Structure 1
Amino acid sequence: MTPAARTQAAIELLDEIIVAARDSGAAADTIVARYFANRRYAGSKDRRAVRELVYAAIRTLGERPRSGRAAMLALAAENPALAATFDGVGHGPAKLGDSESKAWPGVAPNWLLERLRGSGLDDAEFPALIERAPLDVRINRSKAATVAIEGAEPIAGLADGLRLPGGMDVERIEGMPDGALEVQDAGSQIVTLAAKAKPGQRIVDLCAGAGGKTLALAASMGDEGAILATDTDRNRLSRLAPRAERAGVTTVETRLLNPGREAEMLADWGGSADCVLIDAPCSGTGTWRRNPEARWRLSPERLDRLVATQQHVLAIGADLVRPGGAMVYIVCSLLDEEGAGQVATFLADHAGWHAERIDLPAGRSHGAGVRLTPAHDATDGFFVARLTRG
């Protein structure tokens, strides 16, 4: 592919991604993979170059652009070589029009920036929200007592956390036993520590998804006790059992829940859990480094629906905790309506519950919990609180 053809390919992909973001369609990675699956002539260098253009545009533009061409023109405004590909020759994009307008760079839509400021996030922290994320892993000590990876750095406060060099493929690290490493952001590892999981406990991971935090809990418990991992998403939950087997974890039971019938389907665990961990569905404002297109998908209406869902899962989780037990509430969001505000509302509505102070190796106190941010902690953004039932 010529440079101009690569630019045109990026424009076509961005057009699809913009529509998918508007209509809650497929993720950008899925769209890119599908695009090249139908274009076998594109070599690995072409695919890499086009992908880099696509994601550079997504990271550059906080507001969802009106078109892929407008998005690429925003990049071209700062890149003369890219601008030169708009020459109308061959398979490249059409020539620039005299009055053609480009999209404008930004961190996020203005309404979201105002919500972030209202949640106590300083403007100086905004640029870090869309930087490229590092690759972090958790060492599974039951599979590997020691791990030596060239260029890897230990993560402060995490005995089993490593930050790998950029571009490394975890699946191709030579000499690593199968299941020895689990890809998991340092922030995700840190907030899971708030569960204070111990061998022999009964723990519910209420919104387990594919099970990253479930496996971290099992490691803290030495694979002794019982973990019930639940979710309403069959596809995501189905990934947990193979991961657990690969990691040598035997204490996890998975249970698919029907929306609206969660309490009924969890009745056998009612009032008996030592800890319920709730990694609640959220806006993902703390994970834009990994999912920059999420800024284009979020709307005030969708945020309101997420807040209602979080209140719902908190109520379900509270009924599962034994007297003296705890509920750990986690969101990968930096918005107070999903984090500190959500916990404040729960405590106001549930007598007999109180927020417990938690000491973590990163983060700052925020409301009744702790908040981690990319700029301050070099992790994804999280809010976590530990609530104890009297």
Structure 2
Amino acid sequence: MTPGARVQAAIEILDQVIAAARANGAPADRLIGDWFRTRRFAGSKDRRAVRELAYRAIRACGEVPETGRAAMLRVAAEDREVAALFDGTGHSPATIVAGEPVAEAGLAPQWLVERFAASGVAAADAAALLDRAPLDIRVNTIKAASLALPEGGERSVAANGWRYPPETRIEQSAAYVQGAIEVQDTGSQLTCEVVAARAGETIMDLCAGAGGKTLALAAAMDNSGALVACDTDRTRLSRLAPRAERAGATGIETVLLDPGKELQALQRFAGAADAVLVDAPCSGTGTWRRNPEARWRLTEAQLGRYVATQSRLLDIAAQLVKPGGRLVFVTCSLLDEEGAKQAEGFLKRHPDWSAAMPDLPVGTPRGPGLRLSPWHDGTDGFFVARFERL
């Protein structure tokens, strides 16, 4: 592909990404993969260049662009070399016409910018949300004896964490294939550490998804005790079993929940858990480094639904913890509605619980919990609070 053809390819992909964002369709990485699967003529360098152009445009535009061309023109407005490729020759994009729509630069849609400001996130800091994320891994201590780490990494602040350059092909390493390491952001690893899971305990992961945090808890428990992974998404939860087998994690029980009827499936665990992790569904504003188009998908109505779901899940989790036990609340969000305010609301509703500030090597206190962020801590954005039942 010529440089101009790569720009045109990125424009075509961006049209699909924009349409999917408006319709809550497939994520950008999947759309990019699908686009190339039907275009075998593109080599590895072409795929990498087109992908970088597409993500560069996504990160550059605050509001949802009108078209993929408008998004790429935002990049061209700041890069003369890209602008010169709009020459209309061959498979290159048509020549730029004076006055045609150019997407606006910015962090996010205006309503989200205002929510960040209200949550104490400075604009200069928030810009780090659109940086490229590193590749973090967690050493799986269940299989640590057979560990041979890939070269090029350095220790992170997580107890068993390492960090690699983002382009590292970690999944091709022997350590990954053998289950000795797992890809997991440092911030995510740290939130698992707040649970302080120990061998022999009964631990519940109430929103387990595909089980990334469940596997971290299993390693902390050294495969001893009872570990229960719950979720309402059958497809995501089904991915845990093969991941657990690869990691050597045993004794994990999975429970598929019916939305709105969670307690009916969890009655046998009432008052039995030493700790419950609530990694609640949220806006994902802390993960934009990895999913920058997500900021085009979120609406105020969706945010309100997330907040309501989080409150309900916290109230459910409180009924599962034994006296003296603990509840850890996590969201990958930097908005106070899904963080400090949510934690404060829980404490008001449950006077028999108290907050214990998480003891982590990084993080900034925010209300009853800690905020982790890319600009202060080099992690994805998280809020984590730990509650203890009196």
Q: TM-score range by the shorter chain?
A: over 0.9
1:313 matched residue in structure 2:
313
Once the two structures are TM-superposed, the CA of residue 367 in structure 1 deviates from its matched residue by 0.2
**Which shows bigger deviation, 267-276 or 144-153?**
144-153
1:72 matched residue in structure 2:
72
* Cα shift readout 1:288-328 (whole Å, capped 9, x = no counterpart): 11111111111111111111111121121111111111110
Once the two structures are TM-superposed, the CA of residue 175 in structure 1 deviates from its matched residue by 6.1
Distance 1:354 1:118 in 2: 26
Alignment of 1:263 with 2:230, yes or no, is no
Say if 1:205 and 1:175 are closer, same or farther in 2 by CA, change over 3 A. Answer: closer
Once the two structures are TM-superposed, the CA of residue 176 in structure 1 deviates from its matched residue by 6.1
Distance 2:175 2:160 in 1: 18
2:247 matched residue in structure 1:
247
1:167 matched residue in structure 2:
167
Distance 2:79 2:49 in 1: 15
| 2:142 partner SS | coil
The TM-score, its normalising length taken from structure 1, stands at 0.97
The unaligned stretches of length 5 or more in structure 2 are none
1:150 matched residue in structure 2:
151
1:323 matched residue in structure 2:
323
Once the two structures are TM-superposed, the CA of residue 361 in structure 1 deviates from its matched residue by 1.6
Q: CA contact under 8 A between 2:227 and 2:252: conserved in structure 1? A: yes
Say if 1:206 and 1:56 are closer, same or farther in 2 by CA, change over 3 A. Answer: same
| 1:144 partner SS | helix
Q: Within 5 A, what are the aligned runs for 1:363-378?
A: 363-378=363-378
Q: CA contact under 8 A between 2:9 and 2:50: conserved in structure 1? A: yes
Once the two structures are TM-superposed, the CA of residue 174 in structure 1 deviates from its matched residue by 4.4
1:303 matched residue in structure 2:
303
Once the two structures are TM-superposed, the CA of residue 147 in structure 1 deviates from its matched residue by 3.9
**Which shows bigger deviation, 254-263 or 269-278?**
254-263
2:332 matched residue in structure 1:
332
| 2:86 partner SS | coil
Once the two structures are TM-superposed, the CA of residue 251 in structure 1 deviates from its matched residue by 2.1
* Cα shift readout 1:178-218 (whole Å, capped 9, x = no counterpart): 00000000000011111111100001100001111111111
Once the two structures are TM-superposed, the CA of residue 166 in structure 1 deviates from its matched residue by 3.4
* Cα shift readout 1:81-120 (whole Å, capped 9, x = no counterpart): 2112212222222221222131121111221111111111
Q: Within 5 A, what are the aligned runs for 1:25-104?
A: 25-104=25-104
Distance 1:349 1:64 in 2: 38
Once the two structures are TM-superposed, the CA of residue 149 in structure 1 deviates from its matched residue by 3.1
Q: CA contact under 8 A between 2:323 and 2:389: conserved in structure 1? A: yes
2:21 matched residue in structure 1:
21
RMSD of aligned residue pairs (Cα, Å): 1.3
Once the two structures are TM-superposed, the CA of residue 177 in structure 1 deviates from its matched residue by 6.3
Distance 2:170 2:118 in 1: 39
* Cα shift readout 1:139-193 (whole Å, capped 9, x = no counterpart): 012212354432210112x231101233111122246660000000000001111
Q: CA contact under 8 A between 1:231 and 1:255: conserved in structure 2? A: yes
Q: CA contact under 8 A between 1:203 and 1:226: conserved in structure 2? A: yes
| 1:388 partner SS | strand
Q: Within 5 A, what are the aligned runs for 1:220-299?
A: 220-299=220-299
Distance 2:337 2:307 in 1: 7
Q: CA contact under 8 A between 2:175 and 2:181: conserved in structure 1? A: no
| 2:384 partner SS | strand
Q: CA contact under 8 A between 1:144 and 1:177: conserved in structure 2? A: no
1:180 matched residue in structure 2:
180
The unaligned stretches of length 5 or more in structure 1 are none
Distance 1:174 1:202 in 2: 32
Q: Within 5 A, what are the aligned runs for 1:6-17?
A: 6-17=6-17
1:342 matched residue in structure 2:
342
| Paired residue type of 2:110 | N
Q: What count of residue pairs does the alignment treat as equivalent?
A: 389
- The percent identity for this pair of structures is 58
Alignment of 1:359 with 2:359, yes or no, is yes
| 1:203 partner SS | strand
**Which shows bigger deviation, 306-315 or 180-189?**
306-315
Say if 1:280 and 1:175 are closer, same or farther in 2 by CA, change over 3 A. Answer: closer
| 2:144 partner SS | coil
Distance 2:174 2:248 in 1: 20
